[in-house]
Every structure is written in C-alpha cells, then in structure tokens.
Structure 1
Amino acid sequence: MRKFKFFTNFDAEEKWLNDMARQGCRLTRKTMLGYEFEPGKPDQATIKIDYRPFKNREDFEDYRALFEDSGWEHIAGTKSSGYQYFRKANRQGSEEIFSDVDSKAGRYKRLSDMWATLAMTFVPILAALISTGAIDAGVLLDPQSLYYTPGLWELQGADFWRAFLFETPFALFRGLTLLVLPVMTVLYLYFAIQANLWYKKTIQGGSFRR
C-alpha cells in the first residue's frame, strides 16, 4: 500500500507514522513521493526519524548498528536518502533516539542545508537562462505570446476556436516548462526556511506552528 504525503516537521510525521502502525500498516520504504506500507497486526509502535545522508556504506552501517545497540530497529532509509526511520525494538530501549536537544535539532539543520543547496544549484542556471532569453519572464504578463499560430488573434468564429483549442495544450506546456525552474527554486528555498525555523524552535525548546 502506498500513501502520498509530504511533511516539513518530523514530529508531525512521526505522529502520523505511529498512527498508521496502530492501524496495522507497517512502514517498509520511504520514497520521494510518499510511503510504502505492508499490512500487519496493529502495533503500538514508537517510530522516530533522523535526517543524515552518508557518503559511504561503512559509515551508514556503523550508524545503524549504533542505534540497534540502543534498542532501535532501522526500518526505512538508505545510505543516500537522508531520511532514516527507526522503530523501538523492545521496551527496554530508550524513549528517544537523540541524546540531547542539540542532536535532535541537528536533523533540521542538515535538512535545511540540503534544501538550500538544491535551491542554490538552480539559481545560476536560472540566471543564465533569463540572461540569454531562454526564459522570458514577460510571457507571464503576455500569455498570448505562448501561442505561435500566425494570425490566431485575428481569426473569428469557428476558425478561431478550432485553432485556439488545438494550440492551447502546446501553449500550456510551453508556459509550464518556463515555470519549472523558478517554481522549484522557490519551493526549495521555502523548505529550507521551514526546516531552519524548526531547528531554531527545537533549540529553544519551544514550538512552531505553520
């Protein structure tokens, strides 16, 4: 079973995953677009999340072993995914996977840095495309320029609607193509800011609400 969700707050994500476990849905995999579950018995699970990507397999395995020794089973996440999911394996395990507030807040800092890095990689590409005219911001003020049919706007009646409806899907595709990089850059910056806010609030021991 797949569920499509996106969270900017680890506490809210953990609560949702714990609720899913209580409904008999066992997390098996986290993807870019959501989560994969397999059916099982309702489980009063305690699931916690860390964000930590690794450059090599050895460090990743050492990381997993460290948590397993503390009573936490690694249930989802890969060496390069960043998102790591743990389930409390026994009652003797600690209630938290983090030893202090700084380490708990650190996952938000790493997540914020990741989103900011992604956004910054798009900025020079976006600037180059705008400066060379490959992306024309003026089309947002003049959507008619996305239609290439000669004399389209001088046509009337059935001839106009036939040509307009035929080209509209192509015009929409051109417009969406122009917006992909700007929209992705803004989204990544927004996610970076959100993660940084959560980092500061976790450090301060307060709460931040969207």
Structure 2
Amino acid sequence: MTMNLNQLLAADRTLAVVRAESISDAAQLASALGRGGIRTLELTFTTPNVLEHIRRVVETSQDHGVMVGVGTVLTAAQAESALDAGAQFLVTPGLRPEVAKVARERGVPFSLGALTPTEVAQAVDLGSEIVKIFPARHVGPGYLKDLLGPFPELKLLPSGGINEQNAAEFLKAGALAVCCGTSVVPPALVAEGGWDEITERAKKFTASLS
C-alpha cells in the first residue's frame, strides 16, 4: 500500500532536510536514507540544480520508495517548477499564501512555516494540514505543547536544531514528526557520496526517536 505524506511522517517520525551546495547523486541519497528508515526527503531551493535532483529521485522511486519534496519554496513560480519536476510535497520557511494556492490547485500536500499562534492559525486557514514550526531550537519542545492547547488537532513539524539529544522530547510534546538536517545529512557527505555513513546516521537518529 502506498502511503501519503501524513502516514509516512506518522510512521517514521522524521523527515530529512538536505541543504547542500552539491548532491553527487540524489537517487543514491534517497536510497541511503530509505535504508536508514527515513522515507521522506526534502531537497531545497538553496541547492543548485535542485529541480534536476528532484527528477532523479522521482525517476528512481521504484528502487528506494522514498517520497521527495522541496523546501524553501518562496514563490508561486518556484512551486510550479518544483511540481512540474515531480516534487510530491512543498515546504516553506514562513507563510507563503501564493505557494499554498499553487499546492491546493495542484492537489499536492504542503507544510507552511510558522512560529507564533497567529501565524499557525493563518497557516491552517491557508490549508496547511501540517504546520512547520521554525526555528524550533529557539522555542523548545514545551512551546509545541503550549500550541496544542488551543490547536489540539494540529499536526506540527518542528524544524531547525533538531538532533539525537532533543528529537524525542519534541515528539513527546506532541509533534507529528521532526525534521532532521545536518546531523543525518551533513553537506560534505552528501557532496562526496558517503551513502553508507548517511544510512548509519539515519539509523542512529531514528533509533533515538523512541
């Protein structure tokens, strides 16, 4: 059975966010993460040639089973180009109504970035079923618990500063899943193709979530 984004995040409890100047082979990167138990991959518009990398992951999806999306989406044009390249979900660092509009029209899941209760409410109004709390390191797990008071059904995805030491605390506070970044996918390893080490880092990170 093919799982959607919500189901994958609920099952794996994490999403890998890659910020790198270079990706030697995006398909191998996806495979490495999949072997480590992480089946959602967010590439970002801060990486050169990101659309080519998205296409590469999508074209080889039968080999690794990883869902690929794109983050740091700031404009409608970026959203359209990412979806045309095959991106399966969109993520923004803040409230981007024009990105939300494209995603809704194309029927693709998206997660808008927010921090304050007002921004969270606006993200929900724009159709963001999963709200990314960014930067999470500056507010801590307790902040998520507080947000779930007035928004008990909210699906929260904290991002920024999440590591093996604090990830489980964010989940205990009520997060649907957490974003993992350089602790699992360091830019140098992504650039040089250190796939086995990335797999081991992914396994170690996912083991820390329980």
Which entry has the higher C-alpha Rg, 1 or 2? Answer: 1
- Interval of TM-score (by shorter of Structure 1 and Structure 2): under 0.3
Higher RCO, 1 or 2 (CA under 8 Å, sep at least 6)? Answer: 2
Structure with more of its chain in helix, by fraction: 1
TM-score by length of 2: 0.23
